[in-house]
Amino acid sequence: MQHSIFLCDNDYLNLINHKDVIQRQVDDLESSVGRGVAKSSFFLSDGDPHSCLEKDMGDWFGKECYLAQSGYAANVGLMHAICRPGVNAYVDQFLHMSFYDGLAARHVNVHSNKHKNFAQLEANIRMHGPGVTMVESVYSISGALAPLEQIVRIKKQYSCVLVVDESHSFGVSGSKGYAHMMGLQDRVVFATASLAKAYAIRAGIIFTSNALHVKENSFTYIFSSGLMRNDIVWICAIWEVVKAANDRRRKLLDASHLLRTEVSKVADVIKSKLLFLLLSLAFVPKTKRRWLAFIDISPLMVF
């Protein structure tokens, strides 16, 4: 038997073929023939499975919850909801493109900072005034962890709203993400994530104190069909697995440590204070460093 190493898989916890999750979908399909309805999320009722799952996940996380069609849709819609023309948006240059897409539609004042350059961030805020500060807890382009303690300090000092994209840490850095792991969840006003990573499904999620405001002002929520019934069943089932997946998370970090150690012997690996599954390699030309390669550790796991 030939073995291949595939380095482009988003299934961080190796759950896409989890037999219990698949069986939940099969059972629901067999028992719900004719009960599936495709409609705009705007018409969901409180008793709809989608709304019930949002309520349950919000109670678990400690904030209200909004389930979107994708992580991209969640971030674009969030920008629609919280940014008005003239608002100051402070963004790391490596922030995910979905945020930039949403900001472009709102005609805000975008102030881009060099990656993790907080002196520049503070200087921009002092010059332009309070606004919305956006970071990724783990940057997909480099694998670097955001120093959330420092970001929270800046947010508090200058009365800014903090948005943290937890796409690469939700379900991996503990079950609730990096901010929760650091005890800073109450300082984050909006936590977003793509569920295509640890949850192995195309969907997105936002946690905040007023999810209804986000929904009612998000074009991606109002003018798009919601998640299908079988998607909701999958998320509900895999959520139970992710909450109890400490062994999988530990194995993932062990694989990350092993690969980092070995690759660093032959390449320049971007350093991180904490072990994580995103590994970035770089080459250093005479002038400046350039990103060369990005490796996702998760496919190296075997359960």
Q: Give the C-alpha separation, 77 to 88, whole Å.
A: 17
Residue 102 neighbours by CB distance under 10 Å: 26
The predicted structure's pLDDT at residue 292? 44
The predicted structure's pLDDT at residue 280? 59
The predicted structure's pLDDT at residue 301? 47
pLDDT band of 115, cuts 50, 70, 90:
confident
Q: H helices of the chain, where?
A: 19-31, 49-61, 71-82, 97-106, 118-128, 148-157, 178-181, 211-216, 219-222, 229-243, 246-263
Which amino acid belongs to residue 170?
A: F
Q: Judge contact between 56 and 76, C-beta under 8 A.
A: no
Q: How many CA atoms lie within 13 A of 252 on its CB side?
A: 27
Who wins on pLDDT, 255 or 198?
198
Tell me: pLDDT of 278 over 80: no
The predicted structure's pLDDT at residue 144? 80
The predicted structure's pLDDT at residue 296? 52
Mean pLDDT of the chain: 87
Q: Which residues pair with residue 302 across a beta bridge? A: none
The predicted structure's pLDDT at residue 68? 96
pTM of the full structure: 0.88
Distances from the Cα of 291 to the Cαs of 139, 261, 271, 294, in angstroms?
A: 13, 19, 13, 8
Spatial neighbors of 7 by CB under 8 A, at least 6 apart, are 295, 296, 299
What is the side-by-side strand order in the sheet with 88-92? 64-68, 204-208, 190-194, 161-165, 132-136, 88-92, 109-113
Tell me: pLDDT of 231 over 70: yes
Q: Go through the domains of the chain in sequence order and give each one's CATH number.
A: 22-244 (3.40.640.10)
Who wins on pLDDT, 219 or 143?
219
The predicted structure's pLDDT at residue 218? 95
What is the side-by-side strand order in the sheet with 278-283? 268-269, 278-283, 290-296
Backbone angles phi, psi at 28, to 5 degrees: -70, -40
Tell me: pLDDT of 200 over 90: yes
pLDDT band of 299, cuts 50, 70, 90:
very low
Q: Give the C-alpha separation, 139 to 137, whole Å.
A: 6
pLDDT band of 261, cuts 50, 70, 90:
confident
Q: Give percent of the chain above pLDDT 90.
A: 66
Tell me: pLDDT of 210 over 90: yes
Tell me: pLDDT of 57 over 60: yes
Q: Give the C-alpha separation, 20 to 245, whole Å.
A: 14
Average confidence (pLDDT) over 47-58: 94
Average confidence (pLDDT) over 17-21: 95
Average confidence (pLDDT) over 37-57: 85
Q: Give the C-alpha separation, 50 to 215, whole Å.
A: 14
Q: Which residues pair with residue 175 across a beta bridge? A: none
The predicted structure's pLDDT at residue 272? 60
